[in-house]
Amino acid sequence: MKEKFNEALGKRIKKIRKDKDISMNALAKTIGKDYHSILRLEQGKANPSYYYIYEIAEGLGITMDELVKRLP
């Protein structure tokens, strides 16, 4: 279950980021992370904390609810 959630979250982050024309480097810089952290997250290889998900949502300019709504 956790793996499905992480994969779905990563895909959603990538889609929103691309829809908003935000590069991985720009998102990483905005939230104080590095490129590889964002890459691992988008690939579903990271197990993000609640606060990390909050930071990502803020960096994308959306709410946490919009980011995780209806994920498995």
Structure tokens at 24: 């991985």
What's the pLDDT score for residue 27? 98
Task: Provide the CATH number for the domain around residue 18.
Answer: 1.10.260.40
- pTM beyond cutoff 0.85: yes
Q: Which residues contact 30 (CB under 8 A, 6 or more apart)?
A: 59
SS3 content of the chain, % helix, strand, coil (to 5): 70, 0, 30
- In order along its 72 residues, the chain shows pLDDT tens digits of 788 999 999 999 999 999 999 999 999 999 999 999 999 999 999 999 999 999 999 999 999 999 999 987
- Cα separation, 70 vs 38, in Å, equals 21
Q: Which residues contact 40 (CB under 8 A, 6 or more apart)?
A: 46
- Cα separation, 22 vs 16, in Å, equals 9
Domain extent, residue 27, equals: 2-68
Q: How many structural domains is the chain composed of?
A: 1
